[in-house]
């Protein structure tokens, strides 16, 4: 689904991503691991259009998407989760979900007085979809809770839920499990697997928890110092000497 060829992202003279080439197969849950500072988030940000690359090429299903802005990638079904922005914390969980698809075309609709009926129908459809997402993630009891009152793990589930409000093809998750308790981490893991199996989502996820990676991801790509160091299944990766050395070296 995604091919990254010879990607570089430099900051001044520093090569945060240094000639990285990876492939993310359609239907996979691909893991991206590596020591802190390896360049994982930078690579994600370049693929997701948040940062322009210094050099290299990204294609999606054969189409060159290098440097496209996030909203264009969003329309192609390439999503990256973002933390719930401060201004959304006083809105309810359901409202947060309903905000997602409206972002692009909502304004022009709202300005059109005569389309009021259509807007009401659209809103009902969004509310229905939001409730479906909440049930899927087993957080329907939180529908009317203010997003700002959620625990860290519940916020991560809401971030994942936002990707379900649109027709995502591939979702990039940067450390969804960070600071999340074991129970919620399992809920997040289950949601990822179900989205992958039942809805055909492809995932690429950065995660530190090796148990989580080993349970969910195949293949696992390892980065260190901006470069792709190894790729394979979790077992192969954990026995790879270059990988062991990269982790011990930090």
Residue ranges binding ligand ADP (CB under 6 A): 11, 16, 34, 36-42
Least distance in Å: CB of 40 to Mg ion? 5
Among the listed residues 225, 204, 93, 205, the one whose alpha carbon sits nearest the alpha carbon of residue 146: 93
29 membership: H or E segment, kind and range = strand 29-33
Half-sphere CA count of 73, side-chain side, radius 13 A: 27
Least distance in Å: CB of 77 to ligand ADP? 24
**Which of Mg ion, ligand ADP, none is residue 53 near (CB under 5 to 8 Å by kind)?**
none
**Which of ligand ADP, Mg ion, none is residue 34 near (CB under 5 to 8 Å by kind)?**
ligand ADP
CA distance 192 to 186: 10
Least distance in Å: CB of 142 to Mg ion? 27
By beta-carbon proximity to ligand ADP, the closer residue of 36 and 183 is 36
**Which of ligand ADP, Mg ion, none is residue 111 near (CB under 5 to 8 Å by kind)?**
none
CA distance 42 to 44: 5
Residue ranges of alpha helices (H) inside the chain are 40-47, 70-75, 93-110, 116-136, 152-163, 182-199, 210-216, 234-239, 241-248
Least distance in Å: CB of 84 to ligand ADP? 20
**Which of Mg ion, ligand ADP, none is residue 102 near (CB under 5 to 8 Å by kind)?**
none
Rg (CA), the chain: 19
CA distance 158 to 137: 8
By beta-carbon proximity to ligand ADP, the closer residue of 45 and 202 is 45
- Applying the rule CB under 5 A, the residues between 21 and 60 that interact with Mg ion are 41
By beta-carbon proximity to ligand ADP, the closer residue of 14 and 114 is 14
Least distance in Å: CB of 127 to Mg ion? 35
The answer to whether 174 touches 81, Cβ cutoff 8 Å, is yes
By beta-carbon proximity to ligand ADP, the closer residue of 45 and 187 is 45
Contacts with Mg ion by CB under 5 A lie at: 41
């Amino acid at each position: 689904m995604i091919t990254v060829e010879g990607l570089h992202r430099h900051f001044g003279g520093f090569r945060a991503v240094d000639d990285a080439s990876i492939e993310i197969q359609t239907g996979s849950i691909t893991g991206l691991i590596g020591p802190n500072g390896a360049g994982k988030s930078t690579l994600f940000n370049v693929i997701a259009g948040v940062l322009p690359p210094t050099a290299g090429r990204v294609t999606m299903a054969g189409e060159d998407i290098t440097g496209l802005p996030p909203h264009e990638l969003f329309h192609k079904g390439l999503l990256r989760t973002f933390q719930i922005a401060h201004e959304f914390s006083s809105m309810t969980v359901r409202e947060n979900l309903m905000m997602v698809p409206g972002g692009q075309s909502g304004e022009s609709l709202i300005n059109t007085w005569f389309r009021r009926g259509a807007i009401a129908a659209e809103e009902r459809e969004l509310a229905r979809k939001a409730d479906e997402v909440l049930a899927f993630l087993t957080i329907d009891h939180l529908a009317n809770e203010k997003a700002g009152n959620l625990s860290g793990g519940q916020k991560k589930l809401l971030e994942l839920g936002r990707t379900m409000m649109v027709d995502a093809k591939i979702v990039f998750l940067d450390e969804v499990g960070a600071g999340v308790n074991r129970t919620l981490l399992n809920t997040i893991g289950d949601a990822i697997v179900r989205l992958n199996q039942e809805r055909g989502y492809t995932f690429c996820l950065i995660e530190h928890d090796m148990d989580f990676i080993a349970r969910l991801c195949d293949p696992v790509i390892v980065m260190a110092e901006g470069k792709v160091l190894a790729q394979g299944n979790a077992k192969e990766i954990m026995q790879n000497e270059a990988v062991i050395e990269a982790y011990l070296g930090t």
